[in-house]
Structure formats: structure tokens, C-alpha cells
Amino acid sequence: MILAKVTGKVVATQKTKALEGSKLLIIVEIDQDQNSSDNASTYIAIDMVGAGQGDIVLVDWGYSAYEFSGMSADMSIVGIVDHIQFD
């Protein structure tokens, strides 16, 4: 999993049947201090938890994201982060 920040949304009126009804969000990978670097990767992920603009989220990708979402997805938002704690 990676930490990411939601920076926008994608509106697609035409999607494959497997993606109909899904919300697509633009996310940027962040570090443990919730900062993105100048060369941080930007992705589009299916929102499975009701995330929104500015939220810090947990993102899963690959086969496990496909299994979890049951959709034709490579990347899914699977959690909204409340806070990060280091001991």
C-alpha cells in the first residue's frame, strides 16, 4: 500500500461496463510527513471508501486491488487516514 493525497477527480461519461458507477480520483503519492516530492507520481484510482479532495488515503494496487474492488481496476483507494503516529 502507499499513502497518497487526493488532488482532483476524473469525470468520464463513457466507461466500460465494469467501471460504471465508480468514482475516479486523482491522487499524488506522499511520504510519511504527508509531503509530495517534485517528482511524485500521480495516479488515477477507484474510490472504494468515499474519499474527497484533500483527503490522505491508503491506496492498494495490482492484483489485490482488483480482487478487493471486483472491478476492472489496477489501483483502489481502500482507506481514509485520520492521523499517522510514530512511536
Q: Report the CATH number that the domain containing residue 42 is assigned in CATH.
A: 2.40.50.220
Which cell numbers in the block locate residue 55?
483527503
pLDDT in tens, 49-65: 999 999 999 999 876 55
Residues 6+ apart with CB under 8 A from 72: 16, 18, 19, 66
Q: Is residue 86 part of a domain?
A: no
Span 21-26, mean pLDDT? 92
Quote the CA–CA distance of 53 and 25 in Å, as a whole number: 9
Q: Is residue 51 part of a domain?
A: yes
Q: Is residue 52 part of a domain?
A: yes
Quote the CA–CA distance of 84 and 56 in Å, as a whole number: 10
pLDDT in tens, 9-22: 999 989 888 788 88
Q: Is residue 11 part of a domain?
A: yes
Instruction: List the beta bridge partners of residue 26.
Output: 8, 44
Range of the domain at 11: 2-80
Q: Is residue 7 part of a domain?
A: yes
The domain tally of the chain equals 1
Strands (E), 1-87: 2-10, 23-29, 42-47, 56-61, 75-80
